[in-house]
Amino acid sequence: MRLHATVFIAVVLAGPASAEAQSASGAQPVLAVTARLLKADGRTGSSAGGDHPLAAGKSVTHYLHAGRIGQDGICTVGSSSGTPKGLEELVTSAAHVWRVTVTGVSFDSGQQTFDLEWARYASESGVSPVLSRKQRLTLAQDETFTLDLMQSTGVACATSAIIIELRAGAREDPALADTVLQYDLWLVRTDASGKKETRRFLMTAKQGSAVPFEFAPLRSDVPKLKADQYDFDVLTNVAGQLRGRARHDGKLAIELVTTRQDLLHRGGQETSRIDGLGRGRKVVDAAWGEAVEIHLPGGSGVTGSYASAADAAQAKGTTGRLSAGPEGGRTIPAQAVTLQNGRVIINYSAFFANETVSLILRVTKPEAESAEHLMRR
């Protein structure tokens, strides 16, 4: 694969896309407001709500309501987002009412920012809110934010609670909505000698669809510092999500969410990941067929684990991720791997100092093949 362009991304993979990418992508940000009934057995019951395009400086108000006056529990849910009744009228018939007002602020790099003002009303308190909030939020496409969760006190309908949510979405440009993109994504690790280790991901999806990916972990040996030390290695897990859109100017806007997690692993044991750790996001511009290289940030932080069964039995030290700097009166060592108080300590910054990890992405239009052609292969 020939490398036509290289894009360097900061540690958090953050930063706005170009104004050209935003104006030419054709996708319109949409924000949905929904009320959902939750059943006692964990299932979702009825729901109601509405959505609207996000526009800077424009305010939209949604009204949601649940239950009826005198009803045992919350058996019904409804919305009057399109043609809202007056609040005074709603509280005379519904047991609970929510008024949700959203004012658009900006749409940048696939993320919509808006001002949110909402309040919950009850029939017994009339138009005086029993709960209200104001805040500014930023949501990426498909992200959900919970406004309110109210438990049901009745036993009718087997409804246990009602949840009020916001969800960010997008409406595709009809002229581009049926575009199909093929993603060819490579994970490449290069060590100090220039030797490369690779993983590959290949997937096809429609315009604007989220494509999750997860590579098999990269493994790095941990040297033994004592005879009875466990067999350790460090697993580098890289996963994320791609979302590409063709643009009217013939180019592509590609949204990339990536997580890199480096975990100290002992043979025969499972490792647990930490949600959100090492997560970053970026929107990049590319031409069809152009290879784009994204450098992932190096490992950071410090992890320690019992060095051996004997050390674990003596309960020397603790296990888990440590913060850099003084800890328990001791200074975290600068060396990549050390033995300290019965623990193997990994300083990830030093451990990965002589290697690079990057993603190379190439987006093309899938070749059309007939079923007969495939069978002849």
Q: Which domain holds residue 301?
A: 5-22+176-364
Taking residues 168-174, report their average pLDDT. Answer: 92
pLDDT in the model for residue 339: 92
pLDDT tens column, 312-324:
888 755 544 444 4
What would the DSSP string read from start to end of 276-335?
TTTEEEEEEEEETT-EEEEEPPPP-SEEEEESSHHHHHTT-S--EEE-SSEETTEEPPSS
Region 97-105 average pLDDT: 95
pLDDT tens digit sequence for 49-85: 999 999 999 999 999 999 988 777 788 899 886 555 6
Give the number of domains in the chain. 2
The Cα 198–Cα 208 span in angstroms is: 27
CB atoms within 10 A of CB 364: 13
Going from the C-alpha of 315 to that of each of 167, 323, 329, the distances in angstroms are 47, 20, 18
Q: Which of 155, 171, 187 is the last residue of a domain?
A: 171
Flag whether 219 is in a domain. Answer: yes
19, with CB counted inside 10 A (0-12, 13-18, 19+), is: exposed
Arithmetic mean of pLDDT over the chain: 84
The answer on 352 and 259 residing in a single domain is yes
The candidate with the shortest Cα–Cα distance to 281, out of 263, 256, 306, 245, is: 256
Q: How confident is the model over 202-221, as pLDDT tens digits?
A: 999 999 999 999 999 999 99
The answer to whether position 374 is within a domain reads: no
Which of residues 126, 152, 171 is at a domain's end?
171
For the chain, percent of residues with pLDDT exceeding 90: 60
Q: What is the distance of C-alpha 299 from the center of its chain? A: 20
SS3 300: coil
Residues 167 and 181 occupy one common structural domain: no
Which tokens belong to 93?
A: 């018939």
pLDDT classification of 341: cutoffs 50, 70, 90 = confident
Q: Which tokens in the block code for residue 141? A: 């496409």
Phi, psi of 376 (to 5 degrees): -80, -10
Rg value, the chain, Cα: 26
Same domain, 206 and 299: yes
Domain co-membership, 333 together with 209: yes
Name the pLDDT band for 158 (thresholds 50, 70, 90). confident
Q: Provide the 3-class DSSP secondary structure of residue 89.
A: helix
